[in-house]
Amino acid sequence: MKPASALIALTCAALTFASGGPAHAGDRVTAPEAARQVFPEFIEFLKIPNVMHLSVEDMQRNADWLEAAFRRHGFDARQLEDGETPMVFAQAADPSPDRKTVLFYAHMDGQAVFPKEWDQPDPFTPVLKQRGAGGEWSPIALESLTGSAPVDPEWRLFARSAADDKAPIMMLIAAMDMMRANGTEAAINIKIIIDSHEEGGPPTLKDVVARNRELLRADAVVMLDGPMHASNNPTLVFGHRGGMGFELKVHSANNDVHSGHFGNFAPDPSFALAHLLSTMRAPDGRVLIPGFYDGVDMNPGMKAVLAAVPDDEAAIRKRIGIAESEHVGDNYQEAMNYPTFNITSMIAGEPGSRRSIIPAFAAARVSSRTVPGTPPARQLALVRNWVEAQGYHLVDGEPTEEERLKYPLLASITGGGGMSALMTPLDAGVGKWAASAMRREFGVDPVRIPIMGGGVPTQPLANGLGAPILLVPLVNADNNQHAANENLRIGNFEAGVRTLRALFTQDLSAGD
């Protein structure tokens, strides 16, 4: 493996990626070359399992590896105490008081894996694949990424966290390598924090920020998480949905009862729950609970911004395999700006059992994504009020014998805590700064998305540091994050290096 300084001596021809050639003609080292140099380390990083709830030891290995990697590439780096496992902090050397500071956030932990669902033996053994004429993916040698032959930007690297979220971490390293090799000075002070609990375990970022506020202090925060627009054009995201989850349980008899002896006599909680849920949502997806959409900002200016996002909704429907979308909002982007109400699981009796019984209860697990203006606590209160308006008496936990005999309709709601949504104003200086850097690098305006569907832990950073937050996604939209066969399009890695170099060399004051 060549050290970062060896990049200066590279004389091989620049590789061509789908995102185009280098924007800076004087570069001795291009983004594709810088990417090629870190691919061996990227592959090594992906081989370290990173499922937080399975192994604290594995997460410590990730932190140790990453701290050492940042130091190898010229960063000052340390681990920040974080309960069971540390987070990792890095800073580009020689910060200047004359420059503004940007804190870049990413995370090193990943979602759980179920190896039998993957089209490869081990999700933590990366596999490079190319797509055939029929759309099938076939393995090719990993060495293809680091040899002298041209690299195809359409190749994909398959592994857990290949996209979410180890790729952006390695892009940060490659971008800094390229700048040092080319003698390019940064226009900002660069700080980096790598989370260890974003995907699993108790959320600890709030405590880490509180203990290290001065170390992490910045004028802006850029979160390197989430997927780019499907076009793979440079993408800026100004916010994200929040979320909450709760269990709604309808209670009936004090035990499962014989369906012959008590059928038509003991109420069936499954049908009661189904009826109650049907009062909450229309068949087209719209939530019917009064006030649920209050606070949604859908003014003409916002509608125009959302309509300008170049989505191919037919392609989206094809990708997820549906004939028709729900009818909340006039388009995909508008749908993302309304709160959701979805059932993630339902249970009654013993699934798979052939017992002839009427179950004692039926329960639904509900997931609700929120948006700015629809805080989780208020949304949950609206749900509780609606259930009571349908004639139900709400209990805490299991009903008492007295309650069972007094109230014909009994239900309970448990859970409800959640993460708040966030949206930085579309005219904020941090957005202007990033957009200007992207235009300079790629020659096009970025796709501006007001809010993305997934959630990221912005609240501890926004509240703890008081800095504006912008999301800059760098990975392909069809990366299968959180699922089997997670992958990274190689062309996105090189484009991500260019994007970060552009941000590193753009004065944040230009957005003021």
Positions of E strands within 305-462:
342-348, 357-358, 361-370, 393-394, 410-419, 422-423, 447-449
Q: What is the CATH number of the domain that holds 398?
A: 3.30.70.360
The boundaries of the domain holding residue 195 are 4-240+421-511
The reply to whether 26 and 93 lie within a common domain is yes
Could you tell me the pTM of the whole model? 0.89
Give the amino acid at 151.
Answer: V
The reply to whether 398 and 442 lie within a common domain is no
111 domain-assigned:
yes
318 domain-assigned:
no
* CA separation for the pair 482, 100 (Å, rounded): 35
Beta bridge partners of 235: 447
Element holding 248 (H helix, E strand): strand 242-251
Q: What is the pLDDT along the chain (512 residues), one digit of tens a residue?
A: 334 433 333 323 232 333 444 446 567 899 999 999 999 999 999 999 999 989 999 999 999 999 999 999 999 999 999 988 999 999 999 999 999 999 999 999 999 999 999 999 999 999 999 999 999 999 999 999 988 888 999 999 999 999 999 999 999 999 999 999 999 999 999 999 999 999 987 889 999 999 999 999 999 999 999 999 999 999 999 999 999 999 999 999 999 999 999 999 999 999 999 999 999 999 999 999 999 999 999 999 999 999 999 999 999 999 899 999 999 999 999 999 999 999 999 999 888 777 899 999 999 999 999 999 999 999 999 999 999 999 999 999 999 999 999 999 999 999 987 888 999 999 999 999 999 999 999 999 999 999 998 889 999 999 999 999 999 999 999 999 999 999 999 999 999 999 999 999 999 997 67
The reply to whether 401 and 465 lie within a common domain is no
Please name which of 501, 471, 449, 484 lies closest in space to residue 162, comparing C-alpha atoms.
484
Question: Which pLDDT score, from 0 to 100, does residue 202 have?
Answer: 84
User: Any residues with CB less than 8 A from the CB of 134 and at least 6 apart, and which?
Assistant: none
148 domain-assigned:
yes
430 domain-assigned:
yes
Strands 220-223 and 101-107: parallel
Q: Is residue 511 within 8 Å of residue 433, measured between CB atoms?
A: yes
Please name which of 222, 166, 234 lies closest in space to residue 191, comparing C-alpha atoms.
222
User: Any residues with CB less than 8 A from the CB of 269 and at least 6 apart, and which?
Assistant: 250, 251, 252, 348, 358, 359, 360, 361, 362
Q: Is residue 130 within 8 Å of residue 137, measured between CB atoms?
A: yes
The reply to whether 223 and 247 lie within a common domain is no
The reply to whether 263 and 126 lie within a common domain is no
The reply to whether 27 and 88 lie within a common domain is yes
The reply to whether 250 and 376 lie within a common domain is yes
Which pairs with CB-CB distance under 8 Å and at least 24 residues apart come from 205-210? 205/87, 205/457, 205/460, 205/461, 206/459, 206/460, 206/463, 206/464, 207/82, 207/83, 208/80, 208/81, 208/82, 208/87, 208/460, 209/460, 209/461, 209/464, 209/465, 210/464
Question: Which pLDDT score, from 0 to 100, does residue 349 have?
Answer: 87
Q: How many domains does the chain have?
A: 2
Q: What is the CATH number of the domain that holds 462?
A: 3.40.630.10
The reply to whether 203 and 289 lie within a common domain is no
* CA separation for the pair 357, 33 (Å, rounded): 66
Burial of residue 290 (CB within 10 Å: 0-12, 13-18, 19+) is: exposed
449 domain-assigned:
yes
- Which tokens is 484 given? 């089997």
458 domain-assigned:
yes
Please name which of 420, 505, 500 lies closest in space to residue 463, comparing C-alpha atoms.
420
Q: Is residue 169 within 8 Å of residue 195, measured between CB atoms?
A: no
The reply to whether 446 and 494 lie within a common domain is yes
The reply to whether 375 and 489 lie within a common domain is no
Q: Which of 375, 398, 419 is the last residue of a domain?
A: 419
* CA separation for the pair 386, 364 (Å, rounded): 16
312 domain-assigned:
no
Please name which of 478, 374, 468 lies closest in space to residue 420, comparing C-alpha atoms.
374
Q: Which of 419, 450, 469 is the last residue of a domain?
A: 419
User: Any residues with CB less than 8 A from the CB of 370 and at least 6 apart, and which?
Assistant: 241, 242, 243, 244, 339, 376, 379, 418, 420, 421
Beta bridge partners of 138: 130
- Which tokens is 15 given? 């590789």
User: Any residues with CB less than 8 A from the CB of 165 and at least 6 apart, and which?
Assistant: 106, 107, 108, 110, 198, 224, 225
301 domain-assigned:
no
- For 295, other C-beta atoms within 10 Å of its C-beta total 15
* CA separation for the pair 268, 23 (Å, rounded): 67
Q: Which of 399, 419, 439 is the last residue of a domain?
A: 419
The reply to whether 170 and 271 lie within a common domain is no
Please name which of 365, 367, 374 lies closest in space to residue 451, comparing C-alpha atoms.
374
The reply to whether 160 and 289 lie within a common domain is no
